[in-house]
Structure 1
Amino acid sequence: MTKATPENFTALLDLQRRDTRMTSLAGSLKTLQQEPELVAALKRRQAAINTARQMDGRKAELEKSASETAQKVSDLLARLESNRARRDAGGSAKEVSALQRQIDSLVTQVEKARTQQAAAQRELDAFTTERAAVLPKLQAADAEAKRLVAATQEKGAAMQAEHQQLVSERDAATAAVDNGPLVARYERIRTGGHAIRTAAATRSGPLCNSCGSAMSPAEVNEVEADPSEVSTCPSCGAIFAG
């Protein structure tokens, strides 16, 4: 049977508190990047990036269309001015007639091109207004995601630092128990299952404060018969250390 003093038990509970915190930190660090709020924000950010790219592409298309229609009008006006100048310079009746037909055709083409230019510019202006209204929302989604990422990284760094400190102090906490057999039993219980579990706990009368189960009167009497003898919870196996 393993024996222990009240001081041994007090130090063992301190070790358990440290180990519990270490286990909690390790678990939290593994799932930190999967926090629902962060995951949702990153999804919104990616959707915002995709939308911004699509809008940039559409803007480039509309700007190209507006530029091309404006250039077409400019080219047609230049040809129209040249033909008018040639017509006004005189020539045979046949030449003047041919030039006039070209001028009439160019006038029609200019009007059509101007209509196309105006339509292209209206579409560009409407899209520019729509884009200006949407961009702040996209930027806000990006900023919120970056804020949460930064906060998560900061939180993770703090948790990592605390975990490393607890790891570095564990040998000292173990030595402070000053009871090799008690520590060995504690470690077997803590790491003996499929996962790290609570290996030392207090009790409130018949209740185990680790698993919450209640002992029978006979079990309580057995536990209390010799306070220096190390006893465990019949249900979860944790050492009663207080």
Structure 2
Amino acid sequence: MTKATPENFIALLELQRRDARMTHLEESLKTLQSEPELVTALKRRQAAVAKAKELNTQRAHVEQAAALAEQKVTDLLDRLEKDRARRDAGGSAKEVSALQRQIDSLTTQVEKARAAKAVSGEKLDAFMTERSAILPKLQAADAAAKRLVAATQEKGAAMQAEHGQLAGERDQYVTAVDNAALVSRYQKIRTGGHAVRVAATTRTGATCGSCGSTMSPVELSEVEADPTEVSTCPSCGAIFAS
């Protein structure tokens, strides 16, 4: 049987409080990166980055189409000017007639090329207008995600620092219990299962402060029979430290 004084029990509860905080920090650190708000923000940022890349690709295609249309007009006008110069320089009737037919054809091509250039320009203007409207939203999603990531990292660093402090101070709180048998029993209860659990608690009458179960009158009488005797909750196994 394990005996303990009120002072032992008070120190044990303080140890339990700090151990519970350490466990909470460990669990929080594991799930920190999967917090719904952060996950949602990162998904939005991922979608924003993908959309931005898509817009850049589209912009390159539209700008290239506009540049090709403009170059085609320039090339046709250059050919037209040369053919007119050759026609005006004179020659046989057959040569002049052939040049005129070529000039007429080039003139038609220039008109079509200019129309295509105008369409390409309109498409480029429309795309740039759409891009200008979308980009701020993409940038906002990116900035929001970066802020949340930074906040999460800061939060994680603070929790790690607190956990490290608690871990570094734990031995002195174990020593403060000043009851090796009580501490040994506490440790076995705390880590003896599949997961770390509450190993010391208070009670209010017949009600356990850890699991909330209510003891029967017989169980309560056994617990209260000897205040110095270390007793545990019949349901969860936590040590009653008060």
Q: How would you bin the TM-score normalised by the shorter chain?
A: over 0.9
Count of aligned positions? 242
Which residue is 2:48 aligned to? 48
- What pairs with 1:7-86 in structure 2 (closer than 5 Å)? 7-86=7-86
Per the alignment, residue 98 of structure 2 pairs with 98
Partner of residue 87, structure 1: 87
Alignment of 1:93-242 (within 5 A): 93-242=93-242
Distance in 1, Cα, partners of 2:60 & 2:52: 12
The one-letter code matched in structure 2 to 1:233 is: C
Q: TM-score, normalised by structure 1?
A: 0.98
Note the C-alpha offset of 1:25: 0.5
Identity across matched positions, percent: 72
Letter in 2 for 1:211: C
Residues in 2 aligned to 1:59 and 1:197: alpha-carbon distance in whole angstroms:
59
Q: Deviations over 1:161-213 (max 9, x none)?
A: 11111111111110010000000000011011111010000000110000000
1:116-175 CA-to-partner distances (Å, cap 9, x unmatched) read 111111111111111110111111111111111101000000001111111111111100
Q: What amino acid is aligned across from residue 65 of structure 2 in structure 1?
A: S
Ranges in structure 1 where 5+ consecutive residues have no aligned partner:
none
Of 211-220 and 102-111, the range deviating more from structure 2: 211-220
The structure 1 segments of at least 4 consecutive aligned residues displaced by more than 6 Å after TM superposition are none
Residue identity in the other structure for 2:216: S
**Deviation (angstroms), 1:86:** 1.5
Please report how far the alpha carbon of residue 88 of structure 1 lies from its aligned counterpart in structure 2 after TM superposition. 1.5
Q: What amino acid is aligned across from residue 173 of structure 1 in structure 2?
A: Y
Q: 2: distance between equivalents of 1:113 and 1:223?
A: 98
Deviations 1:12-49 (A, max 9, x none): 00000011011110011011111111111111111111
* CA deviation profile, 1:43-91 (whole Å, cap 9, x unmatched): 1111111111111001100000000010000010011111111212222
Q: Displacement, 1:216? A: 1.3
Which shifted more, 223-232 or 103-112? 223-232
Q: Which amino acid aligns with 1:222?
A: E
Partners in 1 of 2:88 and 2:229 — Cα distance?
123
Cα-to-partner distance string for 1:100-125 (whole Å, 9 max, x where unaligned): 11110100000011111111111111
What secondary structure is seen at the aligned counterpart in 2 of 1:237?
coil
1:19, 1:110 → 2: CA distance? 83
Q: Which moved more, 1:201-210 or 1:82-91?
A: 82-91
